[in-house]
Structure 1
């Protein structure tokens, strides 16, 4: 189906909004990274929670860079961010968590890791095509 001029205009407008939001996310991530580094510098101490937060920011910037470069977002990047966020939660709140919650967070990390392996296996075993191979057959 061929898009009409209104759907093309809407798609163009949404593309511009998407780019603006991605730039805002990138700027906010850079500012948050700077603030965290300034906090570490002022405290003159680095904790595991600080490092995991910096890794979260790094993963967000990597995800944005990949998306802006290719226009595609692999589902693995948000999964990596989820694992790091859960690990940070586990590390920071370990004293307040009961055994069942620790087990649940750990099991969640394991499930996300298995999902990443499954996605990677599917990508290697069944690589993406651009659709031109199907049209030529």
Structure 2
């Protein structure tokens, strides 16, 4: 039997056989990569949160920025856990992380400058836009749920 196709129909059969063999292997590699990457992200999140917590312990106190940083780690950990369970990336959690990070920046600016300026106003506007984006995502997932029936 020759592997070289002699007719378009033979080429189509060879292509289909190759696809039947390679697609499951490709899917397996993608799945393995996702799992390994999720473990790495989860491990790095736990490690970073532990280092931040130990820094707070050695300092003897925790500032509001420190607590917000721990909330960011918690939200990232929740995203990893949800992705493990559902195989869907919860976009809302990314928005929550962004809102928390911008809030942390605002608090840091206020603590260092001790005055309100345009940067703080723009960051507040950023939080408003992110909150509106979250509302749109929630409405869209409620109004147009995914095919599996799970909303984000």
TM above 0.5, yes or no, is yes
* CA distance, structure 2, for counterparts of residue 5 and residue 113 of structure 1: 46
Structure 2: 5+ residue runs without aligned partners?
A: 1-15
Aligned mates of 1:11, 1:98 — CA distance in 2: 52
Shift of 1:5: 2.4
Q: Does 1:125 align with 2:143?
A: yes
From 120, 131, 150, give the equivalent of 1:113. 131
Runs of 4+ in 1 over 4 A off after TM superposition: none
The 2-side partners of 1:127 and 1:22 are apart by 25
Alignment map for 1:60-99 (pairs within 5 Å): 60-94=76-110, 95-96=112-113, 99=117
Match of 1:10 among 26, 33, 36: 26
Residue-by-residue CA offset, 1:9-47 (whole Å, 9 max, x unaligned): 222112111111110111111111111111111111110
Structure-2 residue corresponding to 1:101 = 119
Equivalent-residue separation in structure 1 for 2:74 and 2:148 (angstroms): 30
Q: Give distance in 2, aligned partners of 1:63 and 1:43.
A: 29
TM-score (norm 1): 0.86
The root-mean-square deviation of aligned C-alpha atoms, in Å, is 2.0
The superposition leaves residues 81-106 of structure 1 with CA deviations (integer Å, 9 ceiling, x where unpaired) of 11111111111133358722112111
TM-score by length of 2: 0.78
2:76 and 2:97 in contact (8 A); partners too: yes
Residue among 45, 49, 55 paired with 1:29: 45
Conservation of the 8 A alpha-carbon contact between 2:65 and 2:107: yes
Structure 2 distance, partners of 1:28, 1:35, is 10
